[in-house]
Every structure is written in C-alpha cells, then in structure tokens.
C-alpha cells in the first residue's frame, strides 16, 4: 500500500530496506522476508526507481528489541499461521506448476513433431507419385496385354487354318497312296477339276 506524503509525515520517520537491515543486523532480503511474513509492518512509497518498501523507525526498534507485537503488526502466533499458509501456498503453487508441466509434456507427446509431420507428408507424396506412376505403367501393361491377346487369337486362328490344310493334304496323300502304283504313274484315277 503506497502512502502519500501527509500519511508518511503522520507515521514518523521511515527507513528503507537497506537501512532497516543495518539496524537489525541482517541482510536486506531477510527484512523483505519479515515483511512478506507479516512479522514487520511496512508500506510502499514511490522511490526514484519505482515503488520501494519503507518501515517506520519505531517498528524497526520494537522488532530489534524482540517485541512479540509490533505496532500494527501481527502477534507471533498470527505470524506462524501466515508462515504456514505461505508454505501451503508455495507447495500448492509448486504442485500446480508440476501438473501444468505434465499436461504440457503430455500434449507435446500427443502432437507429432514438425519432423514427424514432414516425414509423413514426404511419405504420402512418394506414395502418391508411385501410385500415379504405377497407374500409367499399369495402363501401358494393359494395352500391351490386349495387343498380346489379339496376336494370340490371330495366331491361334492361323494355326487352326494350317492344321485344317495339313489334315486335308494328309487325306489326299492317303488317297493317292491307296491307289495302285501304275495309276499313280499314268495319272489315272486322279481327281480332276473337270469332274
């Protein structure tokens, strides 16, 4: 709580943290802890470098003499409650911080990393390229297979025609062989196209 000049004049002379620390023969951070724990009352004033803590000279004197209660301050039992609450709050803050870190780490573990996403995108691109390339190759092979099928059918028809011609020639030869040899020499008994 910041005090204006009139209020500062009413409470008497004040000391900064360093001056209060010298009076109490402790470090300035210890005085700051006393203030935080409520064992030493203080107020903030606007200083040349921003707000700063000020402690009344009377409060520092009473605190130095081991007074259990400082003007406007807490009793020793109240101070221990405040300290216990501060410890609980610090523990709670630490627990919350730990849980938030765990949640954050869990979320990071669930999210694929940039490298994993890039690798997946590269794999998908390569698969798509392969499928596109394979598709063209498959079409080409299908055309070739169709041409082969047509050639095979044509060749099969030609083979069938040649087999029929062969069988016809074999029959003629068989008929010729069945004739006596002199008919074969003289040409008798031969089929002519006129008959």
Q: How confident is the model at residue 191 (pLDDT cuts 50, 70, 90)?
A: low
* Mean local confidence (pLDDT), 121-129: 87
Q: Tokens representing 69?
A: 């209660």
Q: Which residues span the domain enclosing 89?
A: 75-111
Residue carrying the six token digits 């609450």: 85
Residue scoring higher pLDDT (6 or 96): 96
User: Is residue 23 in a domain?
Assistant: yes
User: In the structure, how many helices (H) and strands (E) does the chain have?
Assistant: 7, 3
- Same domain for 173 and 135, yes or no, is yes
Closest CA to 82 of 70, 94, 74: 74
Ranking 36-50, 52-66, 70-84 by mean pLDDT, the lowest is 70-84
- Same domain for 12 and 62, yes or no, is yes
- Same domain for 70 and 80, yes or no, is no
Q: How many domains does the chain have?
A: 3
Q: What is the mean pLDDT of the chain?
A: 81
- List of residues 6+ apart from 43 with CB closer than 8 A: 1, 2, 3, 53, 54
Has residue 27 got a pLDDT over 70?
yes
- Same domain for 87 and 121, yes or no, is no
Given 24, 57, 74, the domain boundary residue is 74
CATH of the domain at 59: 1.10.1660.10
């Amino acid at each position: 709580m910041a005090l204006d000049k009139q209020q500062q004049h009413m409470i008497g002379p004040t000391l900064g943290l360093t001056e209060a620390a010298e009076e109490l023969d402790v470090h300035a951070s210890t005085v700051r802890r006393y203030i935080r724990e409520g064992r030493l009352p203080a107020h903030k004033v606007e200083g040349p470098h921003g707000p700063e803590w000020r402690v009344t000279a009377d409060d520092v004197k009473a605190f130095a003499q081991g007074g259990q209660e400082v003007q406007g301050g807490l009793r020793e039992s109240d101070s221990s409650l405040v300290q216990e609450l501060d410890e609980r709050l610090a523990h709670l803050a630490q627990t919350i911080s730990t849980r938030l870190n765990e949640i954050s780490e869990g979320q990071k573990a669930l999210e694929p990393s940039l490298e994993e996403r890039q690798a997946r995108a590269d794999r998908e691109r390569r698969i798509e390229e392969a499928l596109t390339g394979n598709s063209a190759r498959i079409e080409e092979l299908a055309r070739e297979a169709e041409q082969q099928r047509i050639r095979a059918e044509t060749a099969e028809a030609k083979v069938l025609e040649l087999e029929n011609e062969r069988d016809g020639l074999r029959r003629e030869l068989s008929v010729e062989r069945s004739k006596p040899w002199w008919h074969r020499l003289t040409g008798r008994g031969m089929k002519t196209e006129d008959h």
